[in-house]
Structure 1
Amino acid sequence: MPTLIAGAVAVVVLYTLLQMFRAANPAVLARAVKIAGGIVCLAVAAFTGIRGELAVAVPLGLFGAGLLGWSPAASAIGQFGSFGGFGRRARSSGQTSTVRSGFLDMVLDHDSGALSGSIIAGTHAGRSLNEFDLPQLLALMPTFDAESCALLESYLDRRFAGWRQHAQGTGAGGQRSQATSGKMTAEEAYQILGLQPGASRVDIGRAHRSLMKKLHPDQGGSTYLAARVNEAKETLLRTHL
């Protein structure tokens, strides 16, 4: 009889735990799994250490401490939280993309979608585009090459909504030829996608999708920058063939 009661209690407890597991927040569940795993690892490490099996106890203890956030290894072991779909891979913050032309150096912030730039050649070299108002920026266009003009128009689209309508009389509001300075290098492609050299195909695809959400013309973005992002993706994927 006691065995039957114990079995029934075990079934009820197991069923309750399963329901809690299904309803739990993934992030909370991941943390709970890490904590439980850390405690178990430390307990087993202590047991094996008492028995003198230090070759097993030491690495197991370090692993358990890492799961609990008690060692430098915690940052690496923290990826355990994504095991089995319990957590999501953290998005990098502060990531930027860089696009350069003969006259401009533009930087796109991935988090905010803000586009900033500076002049790198000519009489205004070293100055930020934010220092100029719309008429002054339009006056710079005749001094730029086609690629720099297209890049500047992308900046104006972000900073001055509807500027093309106001610039029609100057002839500066039309779409410029999207000529480029030549075949894109792998270094340029990494900078445009905001990736480090050696990035995987998965990283390339993820960065491309993220940028296109902000830059695609259908989303009010820039045709020129979207084309450059597509070219960067194609350039890097060719290196993975």
Structure 2
Amino acid sequence: MTVGTTSPSPTPPARRPHRARGLIRPAVLGLAVAALALVAALLPLERLGSAVATVGPAGPVVAVTVGAVLLAALVPRTAISLGSGALFGALAGGVYALLAAVLAGVVTFVAGRWAGHGRLAASAGGRLARVDNWLARRGVLAVVVVRLLPVAPFGLVGYAYGATSVRARHYLIGTLLGATPSAFSYAAIGAAAVRPGHLDLLTFLPAALGALISTAATLHWRLTARPGPH
């Protein structure tokens, strides 16, 4: 009589190497942002503004580009808008500050999508996946509310939204709408700081409009987020 031998059960495929590979891109992005933030922290922003003012007709292009890089490096957008207004005046400074914000928003969104799209929800479980789906359903409104409220650095919000399922079109429209009021308000304040006497009630009109839009959007968001009757 032969004694049967049980063959060893097949070894389940190792998931840890796959999970580790999924962390490579977020790690690369994190290191790149940390390096940018370190460089931005060491830069004398006052001298940088003076240098932009000396480049002549190319000044606006340089200002928008440098502003976008600084925003991607997590420099507060308030400083960028104030400096833009001080250099170029309230109206032009507001336009350039807004362009820098939109450019930074696009760059950070693309970087976040490259690094983390689909990875965060998959690694964190169902709860984050539900948040991701909810943000995607809200679309433009979700982006506008977050952009109007100072919940996190401008660049960090862009990276985070890139990792979600929010459509790029909705993100871009929401970023443009949400960044406009504060861009012109702080640019006007920056312009008035170097030109005393130019600060009037119209300076605060974009900020007041932004606060009104933010309040209305937040109320609408909360009302529509309530679960319906079972």
Tell me the TM-score normalized by structure 2. 0.31
Q: Which structure features the higher share of strand residues?
A: 1
Tell me the TM-score normalized by structure 1. 0.30
**Structure number with larger C-alpha Rg:** 1
Q: Which structure features the higher share of helix residues?
A: 2
More relative contact order, 1 or 2 (CA 8 Å, 6+ apart) = 2
